[in-house]
Structure formats: C-alpha cells, structure tokens
Chain A
Amino acid sequence: MKLFKLYNKEGDIVERCKKGERKAQQELFTKYSPLLMSVCMRIVAKREEAEEVLSSVFLKVFKSIGSLKEEVPLEAWMRRICINESLNHLRIKRSIFLELDSEDYSFEEYRSHNQEDPWATEELQRMIEKLPLGYRTVFTMVAIEGFSHQEVASLLNMEESSSRSQLVKARQLLQKQITERNYIVKHERATSI
C-alpha cells in the first residue's frame, strides 16, 4: 500500500511536471538532484562542472518529460540523460579519449578521505571520482550504470576492446587502492593499540 502510494506520488509529480508546474519541478529536483549529482561526479569529477552538468540535465528533463512513456522508469531515464550530458560536457571541455591513460592517480589525495570503513559508500564514490578520466567514465558506465561495452564504444567513439581494457584497468586500480586502504587502516589501528 505504501509502495502504491509512493508510486502514485511520483506519477503525480511527473504528470504535474508535464504540465509545466514549477512546484512539481522543484519537488523532482529536490528528490533526484543528490542522486544524479553523484552520477555526474563519477564522470565529471569536479564539483563545479558537475553542477553545471546537473543543471543542464534538469533543464533537459523538464523539457522532454512530456515524451516520457509510462513504462519507462523515471530514475533510469534521468540517469541516462545524466550520463549523456556528462559525456557531452567532457567532449566540450576536453578530448577525454586522447588522455585515457595520461592521468596519474594520487594516492595522497585518496588518503585525505580517510574513513573507518574502506568499503563505505562515500569512500568508494571518492575513489571512482579520482580515477583517471577514461577509467572512471568507462567504469561508471559499465559497472555502475549497466551500459554494454557496445553502447560505451558507440557513445565514446572508441573500440569495444578499448572499453573492455579500460574497465579492467579501472577495476584493477580500484582493487589496488582498496587493498592499500585496508592495509593503512589496519596499520593505523595496530599502531594506535
């Protein structure tokens, strides 16, 4: 019953957004902006730029929500717009595909976000954000958002094999960082006892 009510509430917001009601648009923004901000951050990484992208995401959402079909989940639809806008932003700002391997990961930066649980969501989010641009783009699209390598290759104008290799490298780097993070946490705990 609660679910039904929730569904109806969201449906109601969507319907009101379709009519251009400003209050409904604000409700939608309030509800989804933090989630979509994380999606943006995982690709764009810089907060200011991510907000810029998020702004254009919502403008696009409000503009085209009239064409949203009932059977399409709202969140998935918005996430897809978010990914596309983030990629567009990167294309405008810089050529990401020429520098797939050119950025060095700074472990010192990673350490600044030291927290108790190395698997804490917040920490993982930061780790992904700090991956090299190409790694995090492919990793976010495939591992988090569920895009296929074929889709990624098409959207990023690259070979499918490149997408696969970027994903593997990103995964390896993240695993390495988590391992190191675990070691540091354990070491710090040991020395503090």
Chain B
Amino acid sequence: MRLRAGLALALLCLLAPLARAIDAAPPLEDPVQQQRYIALIHELRCLKCQGENIADTPALFAQDIRRQVREMIMAGKSDHEIIDYFVERYGEIILLKPRWSAKNAWLWLAPGVFLVFGGFVAWRVVRARQALLETDTEDVA
C-alpha cells in the first residue's frame, strides 16, 4: 500500500511539469473570444524560435504577441485585422501557413505537380516491366 502511494506520488511529480501552462494569462471571459485567441496564436510563428508557434513557446517575444492578440480581440478587432497587423510588421513569415497568392502559388501547387509527375514515371516503369515479363514468358514457352 505504501509502495503504491509512493509510486503514485512519483508519477504525479513527473507529470506535474506538463500541466504548467506556457500561457500564464487567464482565459478571456467570452468563450468564443477565447476560442479565437487560441486559434490565432496557433497560426502565428514565433520568430525567436522559428519552428514553433506562438501558443507553445515561453519566449518573451511570444508573450508579447499573445498579449497583443488578446488586447486586439478585446478591442473588437476581427481575426483578419489581427493577422494583417502582424503581417504588416513582421512580414508573411509570421504566418505558419503561407497565404494563397500568386507569389506563393508554386508552394501550394508543387506537391500536386510532383505527384502527377511521379505517378507518370511510376506508370511508365510498371508498364515497361510488364512488357518485359511478357517477353520472358514467351521465351520460356
């Protein structure tokens, strides 16, 4: 019994750091606003630590961005206005998902192009092998 309690305690201690939220600010009163806030901070890139989003980073920079997003939501700004505010200052790199624009089109279209091209090559290879197989059987026969 004692052992079990000890183990439970040890486990709790191990898990405790996970529960410590990076975002220390209390949630917004309006649940809809809070939801928008959460969505927005997941869309923005932390420029100080570029692989991460603003939501999951304890960096000071991310704290400032979160505060700004929160304040803009409370001031009644739309998601679009908030995103634009950051893009105007930091450039499109602050968006984790690139925008659909003429400049970015290749970025969005490239996977499709590669897929079609790869599919074509695969089809050619398979067909070539099939042709080879047929000649093989003919030889055996």
Partners in one complex: no
